[in-house]
Chains A and B, each alone.
Chain A
Amino acid sequence: MNCPHCAYDNLPGSEQCGHCLADLTQLDRPVAQDRVERSLMEDTVRDLHPSPAITLPPTASVQQALDLMLQHQIGAIPIVDGGALVGILTERDLLTSASDPSVASTPLPVGDLMTPNPATVRAGDSLAFALHQMDVGGYRHLPVLENGQLLGIISVRDMLRRIMRVCKTRGW
């Protein structure tokens, strides 16, 4: 990886030229090939307009969670304790609890059924980063944080809608 300023041969992936200290980070930065890639790289999670988070405390009951999910037509509820995000309760968590006879017989608070320490994204993160998080973790929902505070939640459906809009392909 040659420095564009002094032609010094640096180690691949160097952040800075070992000879003239020039910034080399731009050389490794991926370049968007088309409008979808550009959108994924440059648009942020904030551009998806995260839905306001409808939250529950860890002490809430499964019934409360169910009612909220049905009322608001959502599939995941961030669990917040004292202003901090501690977990996320998803339909999958409810499925697991409903089909487990030992859990079904003794009603547990959502804090015991939730997925603790969920993966999150920040409002300023790129869509590519969010898509990567969804793919690697297999998540359908990601809570969105801004300055450490829960701003909202994005779903895989928001992401698909965005990509389809950018594609603007007709005739399927």
Chain B
Amino acid sequence: MELARNLKVDSVSRLHPTPPWQVRPDQSVAEALALMRQHRVGCVLVCPNEDELLGIFTERDLMRRVLAVGLPLSVPVARCMTRNPVVVHPKDSIGAAVRRMEEGGYRHLPVVDPAGRPLGVLSVKRIVHYLAEHFPSIIYNQPPDPNVVPLEAEGA
């Protein structure tokens, strides 16, 4: 199985992106954080309505634009989000998504349909799992400690 080929052929939708958790631009950073913690995700999408993506608010934004400059968590999320984020479409190849993530240093890409409606979020974690899944024989046969080999056969 050639990974290079599969990265080109497999589409983003195959990775089952996580649901697009959303906040409105006028909601506070604290509300966005609560949503992120509740769903254990690293970002939320900022959407004025269900069909429109305005920006993304990530852990990195929290660090750089809120905590670093000492803003209170009550500021609206629109003030510290990343506007017009780089997105992928469900039909884009996984390779294209990986390249966009790697080039921009992003760990989340919103997945939107051709009309720009947010459908989900693709995380780098999901990509790592896809890559690991690709090589079951070499990845899952890794011993917990690569330098230790049992001396005797175990088992019932």
* A residues with CB within 8 A of B: 11, 13-15, 25, 28, 30, 32-34, 36-37, 40-41, 66-67, 69-70, 75, 91-92, 94-96, 98-99, 104, 125-126, 128-129, 131-132, 134-135, 138, 140, 156-157, 159-161, 163-164, 167-169, 171-172
**Count of chain B residues with a beta carbon within 8 Å of a chain A beta carbon:** 51
> A-B pairs with CB below 8 Å: how many?
135
**Cβ-defined partner of B138 (8 Å) among A41, A99, A156, A169:** A41
Residues of B121-152 at the interface with A, using a CB-CB cut-off of 8 Å, are 124-125, 127-129, 131-132, 135, 137-142, 146, 149-151
For B118, list chain A residues within 8 Å (CB): none
Contact B125 A138, beta carbon cutoff 8 Å: yes
Residues of B1-15 at the interface with A, using a CB-CB cut-off of 8 Å, are 1-5, 7-8
Q: State the CA gap A11–B151 with chains docked (Å).
A: 14
Contact A132 B140, beta carbon cutoff 8 Å: yes
Output the least CB separation between B23 and chain A (Å): 13
Residue-wise interface mask of B (77-112) relative to A, using a CB-CB cutoff of 8 A (1 in contact, 0 not): 000000000000000010110110110010100000
Residue-wise interface mask of B (18-62) relative to A, using a CB-CB cutoff of 8 A (1 in contact, 0 not): 000000000000100110110000100000000000000001101
For B140, list chain A residues within 8 Å (CB): 132
Output the least CB separation between A170 and chain B (Å): 10
Contact B149 A30, beta carbon cutoff 8 Å: no
For A164, list chain B residues within 8 Å (CB): 95, 98-99, 102
**B153 close to A (CB within 8 Å):** yes
For B105, list chain A residues within 8 Å (CB): 157
Output the least CB separation between B80 and chain A (Å): 12
For A161, list chain B residues within 8 Å (CB): 102
Given A11-B153, A172-B95, A172-B96, the answer on whether A135 and B128 have CB atoms closer than 8 Å is: yes
Q: State the CA gap A141–B37 with chains docked (Å).
A: 20
Q: State the CA gap A156–B138 with chains docked (Å).
A: 18
